[in-house]
Structure 1
């Protein structure tokens, strides 16, 4: 009577060759089909660990990788015509996208330091513009959105709420050339209701007003604002409690 023999486990040659060819550990140079070049760590055929990736277009990434994505801390640079590299971004990445705190350097000279989400400025951040203006505050989808401060080259500044990159809501504007403070409401980048007063250093400004602004005050400023259709329908966003002081003084 014949006995049953269990067949031996057989591994096809193609599978065995694929396992041997799987990239793990450090590789000195791996080229893609479009001649991009990667030098760094691998795990199960995916970039994982530390590595440097240079594209055929001249973009260079140096930093952390995880499961084939730029993930962790990394630097992104761009190659110039003379062969040198200029830093574009340094900071955090999440699955191939800018996300978290980082620095960004623009070709026109602008510099941004703050938070990103899915490759866009989002959250709190500071922006130094090439025209010597400055913005420090909140962003959403690459636009100023929320509370923020905008400083002009001549020293004048706006402190208040922004919506989609324009002044919108409650804010203060310091006219440092004349020494006056404007407090009120902005709609579509235009102040529609405000109170003007002198700042303490008015006489030290470049072109101070010849006479101080006399003090006047309404008996019930808050009641007047609450009855205003503009105030009731306006979108003022999240207002800092410290800024509410200007409403009571109007």
Structure 2
């Protein structure tokens, strides 16, 4: 008698866990394995809106706007001073595609 496989009546648990892990809207702090952390808004599992990203390895903080997972819009980039341990503002202005961008805004 040959063995036959019947289709599952329920989906595997990992599919449910993956669906629950989808990030959209305002979230509390999300921690990465390497020690980085992000607090802010999400859209379709990407950083989107206003948020703060703390990079542990570079000892830096970006606080500002995000679009599709990249720094885009107005934001401030600060690095930690090795002597005092305080964060010093390095750049404050426009960002585009995760890079500093000189933009003209007419007021």
Give the shorter-chain TM-score range.
Answer: 0.7 to 0.9
For structure 2, the residue ranges without an aligned partner over 5 or more in a row are 1-6
Pick the structure with greater CA Rg. Answer: 1
More helix by share: 1
Mapping 1:34-73, distance limit 5 Å: 34-56=34-56, 57-73=58-74
- The size of the alignment, in residue pairs, is 95
Spell out, residue by residue over 1:145-202, the C-alpha distance to the aligned partner (whole angstroms, 9 max, x if none).
Answer: xxxxxxxxxxxxxxxxxxxxxxxxxxxxxxxxxxxxxxxxxxxxxxxxxxxxxxxxxx
Where relative contact order (Cα < 8 A, 6+ residues apart) is larger, the structure is: 2
Mapping 1:129-148, distance limit 5 Å: none
Mapping 1:209-228, distance limit 5 Å: none
- Name the counterpart of 1:93: 95
- Name the counterpart of 2:30: 30
2:101 partner SS: strand
* Distance (whole Å) between structure 1 residues aligned to residue 14 and residue 36 of structure 2: 27
For structure 1, the residue ranges without an aligned partner over 5 or more in a row are 1-6, 103-250
Measure how far apart 1:11 and its partner are.
4.6
2:93 partner SS: strand
- Please report the TM-score for the alignment, with normalisation by the length of structure 2: 0.77
Measure how far apart 1:71 and its partner are.
0.8
* Distance (whole Å) between structure 2 residues aligned to residue 78 and residue 62 of structure 1: 12
- Please report the TM-score for the alignment, with normalisation by the length of structure 1: 0.35
CA RMSD of aligned residues (A): 2.1
